[in-house]
Amino acid sequence: ILNVEQSPQSLHVQEGDSTNFTCSFPSSNFYALHWYRWETAKSPEALFVMTLNGDEKKKGRISATLNTKEGYSYLYIKGSQPEDSATYLCAPSTPISSGSARQLTFGSGTQLTVLP
């Protein structure tokens, strides 16, 4: 079973602060790294899919980097806003041994609260 760790588990920041979270995963047998934002009572929203070592992706104030050799990804939020409050999940995509599909193995997430 793949061990995906996210830190911190929860985080409270003030509006305007910049913040970052970490996702660690085994670097072998890796296909892609997915980041999702999950607001309460909504569907998880896909943020980024990254595959290459050194990949950097950006979406507005949110960006992410990927290091496949050492097995980690960082998610950065610049100038946090209250609407950024959500749980941020990472999930490496790895082959499923029983077939040709790939499964997402999720970490427990980082719960971000942005205080106005």
Partner 1 sequence: DAGVTQSPTHLIKTRGQHVTLRCSPISGHKSVSWYQQVLGQGPQFIFQYYEKEERGRGNFPDRFSARQFPNYSSELNVNALLLGDSALYLCASSFVFTGAQYFGPGTRLLVL
**Contacting residues toward partner 1, per CB under 8 A:** 1, 4, 31, 34, 36, 41-46, 49, 89, 91, 93, 96, 98-109
Shortest separation between residue 72's beta carbon and partner 1, angstroms? 17
- Which of residues 79 and 96 has its CB atom nearest to partner 1 in the complex? 96
Task: Write out the two tokens for 27.
Answer: 């670097």
Instruction: State the Cα–Cα distance between residues 65 and 76, nearest whole angstrom.
Output: 9
Shortest separation between residue 2's beta carbon and partner 1, angstroms? 10
- Which of residues 8 and 16 has its CB atom nearest to partner 1 in the complex? 8
Secondary element (H or E) of residue 104: strand 102-104
Shortest separation between residue 91's beta carbon and partner 1, angstroms? 7
Omega into 8 within 30° of 0, i.e. cis? yes
